Amino acid sequence: MLNLEPKNATLPINVSILAAGAAGMYCGSCLRDNALAKALLRRGHKVSLIPLYTPLRTDEQNVSTKHVFYGGLNTWLQNSIGLIFRHTPRMIDKLFDTPWMLNFAGKLGANTPPSKLGPYTVSILKGINGPQKKELRRLTTFLKNEIKPQIVTLPNAMFLGAAPYLREQLKVPIICELTGEDIFLDAMIDPWKTQARDLMREHTRHIDRFVATSNYYAEKMSEFLAVPRSRIEFIYPGISKEHLRDSPAPREETRPPTIGYLARICPEKGLNRLVEAFKTLRTLPDMQNAKLRAAGYLGAGYKKWFVDLQDKISREGLAEHFTYVGEVDLQGKLNFLDSIDILSVPTAYQEAKGIFILESLARGVPVVQPSHGSFRELIYTTGAGLLVPPNEPKHLAEAIAKLLRDVPLRNQLAMLGQAAVRSQFTDDHMAAKMLQLYEELLAWQPPSR
């Protein structure tokens, strides 16, 4: 059990972190928010991690509150059937905010393409002037009367509509996290896409500071939101020390060269690209025995896609060399990473966070990644992997083969990765940088010593 007792705490801060639930699946942003909350609690600060839309699901101790605000079903009904559900009493709304109802509705939403969620997204961005104003008032009343935070952090730019009312009522600094919402926004269609962007830009003036998860993403969102780059900090995600090994896991001599994929099972994360590279890899010298293992959440909306991919793997004669172990919890994730030699998640899009990269390096497993998004920063900073041109399975296969053949190089990268995560990318490092920002916004003076 994690010890959350205050440790060497001075000038404790009361911060509320709003976190968007991901419909019952593990989500990188949820894992990051939960890790940050735990690290702040360990330092003696008062933290309320408040779920929005659905409860949070984490693979470590979950420190979020039991209260879920902006319940996914209620907010959907208030937008879609407004004449009835915008005025229902709380006792009725509670029925739709039970955990099983929220997760059920969340899974339906998760399987709805962004192109069909435009009106709902825009309605949320209208804030106190939108159909979910009842939800915003309830959240604000809870924060004002029960939590009394000194700082409030919004989960992403799609929740910017809440900022004007929260700032007016609470009179505290408001931070907005930027963690990868561009994927969803890019998939929206007009007129909703343009309306959403315009509403976000309108509300940015109510934000004291934005925090992106990489320099790449800070640059991208500065342009998208039309805000000066100086208003966006970038603070890399940090992972708990439970992920760290003192040295790479001992390798069984009989184990064939093994490549791993650890991410959601979907086209944008690039498992299909890795399969193409794997097919090429096995034609290269000394790679005939290579294996590919995959782990990650498979949503209902991508089951047919994955079945088709498995059929293709079978037709290529690779079925006995490919294993899908399913969704994994923390221990399953660590065991999975200890069972592979190299991790590769060749995303089609430019990733904003790259938490799976840090998790892999923490176990002493080097990575081969496309040279885009946050991957470039993480690999340049850690020195623990290889970069290849995006969407080039042949180059990906050759880079993987190089690392699999060159054991001394692989061991060197493994040690570099573990050292880098330990010295720069733990949840404590993330919390320390966030605290610097909090203190700046609160204009605190350090105590005399």
Q: What is the pLDDT of residue 90?
A: 55
Question: Which CATH number is 241-424's, of 2.60.40.1510, 3.40.50.2000, 1.10.10.10, 3.40.50.2300?
Answer: 3.40.50.2000
- Per-residue pLDDT at 418: 96
The reported pTM is 0.89
Give the integer Cα–Cα distance in Å for 134 and 88. 9
Q: CA of 312: how far to CAs of 274, 318, 390, 393, 436, in Å?
A: 13, 9, 22, 16, 51
Residues 290 and 323 sit within 8 Å (Cβ to Cβ): no
What gap in Å lies between CA 252 and CA 250, rounded to an integer?
A: 7
Separation between Cα atoms, residue 128 and residue 351, nearest integer Å: 32
| 177: Cβ contacts below 8 Å, ≥ 6 apart | 29, 33, 153, 154, 155, 156, 210, 211, 212, 213
Same fold, 14-240+427-442 and 241-424: yes
- Write the DSSP symbol of residue 4: -
**Tens of each residue's pLDDT in the chain, 449 residues:** 334 443 444 579 999 999 988 766 778 889 999 999 999 999 999 999 999 988 888 888 999 998 888 875 556 555 555 554 555 555 555 544 555 455 555 555 555 666 778 888 998 899 999 888 888 999 999 999 999 999 999 999 999 999 999 999 999 999 999 999 998 899 899 999 999 999 999 999 999 999 999 999 999 999 999 999 999 999 999 999 999 988 887 888 889 999 999 999 999 999 999 999 999 999 999 999 999 999 999 988 899 999 999 999 999 999 999 999 999 999 999 999 999 999 999 999 999 999 999 999 999 999 999 999 999 999 999 999 999 999 999 999 999 999 999 999 999 999 999 999 999 999 999 999 999 999 999 985 444 32
Asked if residue 13 lies in contact with residue 151, where contact means CB atoms within 8 angstroms, the answer is yes
pLDDT at res. 226 = 98
Give the pLDDT of residue 335. Answer: 96
Q: Is 93 left (phi over 0), alpha (psi -120 to 50) or beta?
A: alpha
In whole angstroms, what separates CA 307 from the centre of its chain?
A: 26
Kindly state the DSSP code that residue 179 receives in the 8-state scheme.
S
End-to-end Cα separation, the chain, in angstroms: 34
Residue-level pLDDT at 447: 46
**pLDDT given at position 294:** 98
Domain ranges, ordered by start, for the chain: 14-240+427-442, 241-424
Contact present, 320 and 186 (Cβ < 8 Å):
no
What one-character-per-residue DSSP string does 235-265 give? ----B-GGG--SSPPPPPTTPPPEEEEES-S
Per-residue pLDDT, 9: 44
- In which order are the strands placed within the sheet that holds 322-324? 322-324, 291-295, 258-262, 342-343, 367-370, 385-388
Residue 46's pLDDT is what?
96
pLDDT of residue 247: 80
Which architecture characterizes domain 14-240+427-442 according to CATH?
A: 3-Layer(aba) Sandwich (3.40)
Residue 322 one-letter amino acid: F
Per-residue model confidence (pLDDT) at position 342: 97
Give the pLDDT score at 108: 53
- Is-contact 51 102, C-beta < 8 A? no
**Does residue 130 sit in helix, strand or coil?**
coil
Question: Cα Rg for the chain, rounded, in angstroms?
Answer: 22
Stated as kind and residue range, the H or E segment containing 164 is helix 163-170
Q: Which secondary-structure segment (H or E) carries 151?
A: strand 151-154
Contact 159, 126 (CB under 8 A): no
Decide: helix, strand or coil at residue 283: coil
